[in-house]
Every structure is written in structure tokens, then in C-alpha cells.
Amino acid sequence: MSVAIMKTKAEQAFSDAYSQVAEQLPGSDDVRVLRKKAIGEFDALGLPHRRIEEWKYTDLRNQLKEALPVGISDETTLTIADVIVALGPFAHVDAHRAVIVNGRFRGELSSLQDVSGVEVRSVADALGTTSEALKSRSAPRDDAVLALNTAYVTDGVMLDIANGTTLQKPLMLVHLRAGKAAQFNAIRHVISVGDEADASIIEAFVTLPGAARDGQVNAASDVTVGDGATLHHVKLCSDTGAVTHLANWMVNLGASCTYRGFLQTQGVSLARHQVLATFNGEDAKLDLSGAFLGADQDHIDMTVVVNHDVPGCESRELFKGVLQDRARGVVQGKVVVQPIAQKTDGKQMAQVLMLSPDTEFDSKPELEIYADDVACGHGSTVAEIDADLLFYCRSRGIPDAMARVLLTESFIAEAIEQVEIEPIQDALMASAREWLETATRRT
């Protein structure tokens, strides 16, 4: 006997909306087939819930109460000055910019001229001739969030960095929420870094002052790093409204490459960043770190799965969080070492600073090892601000509020310092400092 599970209001709305907007979504007939299959998968799976092990601490079925209208087109009138205002500290980073407003690429606001060795295409344009943007060789299985992205994706950027190219400036993908209409936006990026290339890519999710308070974003980045290549991949997710941000990074690593990823989240009501990284070539290195800052009742989930499928690779993970009021943080890190992956070196660490007694932190480190010649480990710590250090600062004439900011800033800086490019590091620190100065004043 089978028991039918009633759909929630949000699940039903996501399913019903597809038939209403399907003809307006970009893509060829092949793309429409993939979209229809994806919405079918979502219908079968439903929103993830706590009985699914990977979602034990983030019950999306319970937390996502409704689905906002799907954003199909964008007619918001904006200027480059508006983009600069929304970027805040990141406006000072000298970078080539691709601007996506409410889920649609805006060429007139972008600055992609004369980027030698880089081919840039709008995903919406590419879907008119090929479905490759919606296919990933490392997509997580039975993932309802990614299925929803595939069904509804409106745009994004396809970046193809040629073999041997060294970019002198970062490429910044600016995702801007603007306008009075609350929307659900699905965005997909496809990033290919050629053999022996060296590049830095920033994903900045920001909001223009005066934008709708509510918003829902489903973002996916499919990243391939070629043999001997180096990629610095940084993401800032910053907001001030009742925003849900669900994201997947699918990263494939070639032989002897270096991938340095960093994720920073602040001011988002509900965020889930999922990273699935796979070593496909020997002697590669992955360094994935992040900082998450939560206040009020924010819920921030950092989930990482690293697959060591070949010998001789190294992975490092470091996540540091600051939680205030009734905020909740989650860090799930899983390292899988296959039998062939001898000489694997994998380490992970999660550390959280709690600024008030009602916060919650859930840490779930996992090692799944099938090889016998490896060096793997994990750790997790939770603490409050050290009372002795706070007293020391106050005894030197530093006001209590400023002392709390300084001590918290020094804690989170260890993660941000993993970003080796100084202008980007400075922008991340300035952005975090703005949040900290506001949050710590309420303690």
C-alpha cells in the first residue's frame, strides 16, 4: 500500500507555474525536453526535507512557505551608477563585469570589451542552439533544487577561457536584485578554464536599495578547471530582505590544477550553498573556504562533498561563522576517497563564534575512505567572545561595542585571508565589517 504525500503550497506553486511560463523560457526544442524532464523530477522529489540525510538540518519543505512569481523578463531601468551603489565595497575591485539583473543578462551594463582569450555568451542565447548549458557531468543525483534550476533557468553567463590564458583582471558576475516586484529567479553559469590558464572569477549577489523585500534565487555554476590551470572562485551573497538563496557549485578538477574557492554569506534569511567537487586528474589541489554571518532568524547552510577519484590530490576546507540573535548555521563536509585514490590528503575544519545564547550551530563532518594510504582529518569548534580579551580591550580604553567588533573581525578574518588576491580580500573584509558593526551593536 502506497501513501500519497500531499504537496505543500510552495511545491504546488512551483509545479503549476511551469505550464504557465514554459513557452516564455528561452531554449530550443531539445532544451524544452530537458526542462520538462526536470520539472517532472521536481514533482516526484518535492522540496528536500529533514528525512533526507543531506538536508537533515535544513528542512526546505517546512521553511519555504510559498513560491514567488517566476521572473521571465527584466525591464528595470538601471544605470551603471546603480550597479556601483549595489556593489558597495566590491565596486572598488578593478574587474571586467557581466551584469545580470533579476535573472537576465544586461549587456549595456556590462564591461566585457577586450577580454583577450575569453569567450563570453549569454546562457539565454546559447540555449537557442544547444542544450549543453543545462548538462553537467557532476550534477548531484536526485537533487530537487538543481532540477528546479534546470526547469526554470532564464539566463546566466557561459565563460570559456582559452588554454594558456592569464587574466590580468578578475571577471565579476554581478547578480542584482532590483525593482518592486518580488520574484523567483533561476540562474545558470557554465565556466570552463582551459589547460594552463590562470583566472579569477567573482560571483556577487547584491541588492539595489529600494528593491522588493522578498526574493528567491536558485543559482547553479558548472565549473571545469583544465590540466595545470589555476582558478580563484569567490562568491559574495549579501542582502537585507527576506531572501531565500539556494545554490549549487559543480566543480570538476583536471590534473595538476589548483582551485581556490571562497563563499561569503550575510544578511540572507535562508541560504543553502552546496558544493560538489570531483578530482578527475592526479596531483590537483582544492582549497575551499568560507565565512557566514547570521543575525535575527537567518539560516545558513554550507554543504560540501569532495570526491577524491584519483591518486595524489589535496583538499582543504575551512569555514568560519558568526551567529547573532536566533540565527542558525550548518556546516556539512564530506570527503570521499575511492580505493584508487591513494596518497590523498584531505582536511576540513568548521569554527563558529556565537554572539548570543539563542543561536544554533550544527556541524556534520564525514570521512568516507576506501583507500589505505591517506592522510585525512576533520575538526569543529564553537565558542563565545573571550571575556578576558574583551576585558583587556576595555581596559585599554576601547569601548565595548568596538571591542566586540574588533575581536569578531579578527576571528572571521582567518577565513577571508584564504583569498589570496588583495583587492578581493579587502572588499570581502569591508563587507563583513559593515555587517559586524550593525550586529554587534545589538548584543
Which three three-digit cell numbers place residue 163? Answer: 588554454
With helix as H, strand as E and coil as C, how does 269-292 read?
CEEEEEEEEEECCCCCEEEEEEEE
Asked if pLDDT for residue 441 goes beyond 70, the answer is no
Is the Cβ–Cβ distance between 124 and 73 less than 8 Å? no
The two beta strands, 96-101 and 171-177, are: parallel
Look at residue 5 and tell me whether its pLDDT is greater than 90.
Answer: no
pLDDT at 386: 82
Q: Is 1's pLDDT higher than 60?
A: no
- Residue in the structure block whose three cell numbers are 554569506: 265
Whole-prediction pTM value?
0.94
Q: Give which of 388, 377, 327, 315 is closest to 352, Cα–Cα.
A: 327
Between CA 419 and CA 415 the distance in angstroms is: 8
Mean pLDDT of all residues in the chain? 92
The span from the CA of 407 to the CA of 389, in Å, is 8
What is the side-by-side strand order in the sheet with 299-308?
A: 118-122, 157-161, 184-193, 214-225, 242-253, 270-279, 299-308, 328-337, 360-369
What average pLDDT does this structure show over 112-135?
A: 89
pLDDT digit string, tens, across residues 392-433? 888 888 888 888 888 888 899 999 999 999 999 999 999 999
Is the pLDDT at 443 greater than 70? The verdict is: no
Q: What is the pLDDT of residues 352-380, one digit of tens each?
A: 999 989 999 999 999 999 999 999 999 99
* Residue 440 pLDDT: 60
What pLDDT is stored for residue 75 in this prediction? 77
* Residues in contact with 174: Cβ distance below 8 Å, sequence separation at least 6, in sequence order: 83, 86, 87, 97, 98, 99, 100, 204, 206
389 or 124, which is more confident: 124
**188-217 residue pLDDT tens:** 999 999 999 999 999 999 999 999 999 999
CA dihedral 391, 397, 400, 404 (to 10 degrees): -70
> What DSSP string runs through 6-44?
PPPHHHHHHHHHHHHHGGGS---HHHHHHHHHHHHHHHH
pLDDT in the model for residue 74: 78
| Residue 113 burial by Cβ neighbours in a 10 Å radius (0-12, 13-18, 19+) | exposed
Angle of helix 9-21 versus helix 29-45 axis, rounded to 10 = 170
Q: Kindly tell me if the per-residue pLDDT of 132 is higher than 90.
A: no
Percent of the chain with pLDDT over 70: 98
Please determine, for residue 389, whether its predicted confidence score (pLDDT) is greater than 90.
no
Residue 438 has pLDDT above 80, yes or no: no
**Residue 6's pLDDT band (cuts 50, 70, 90):** confident
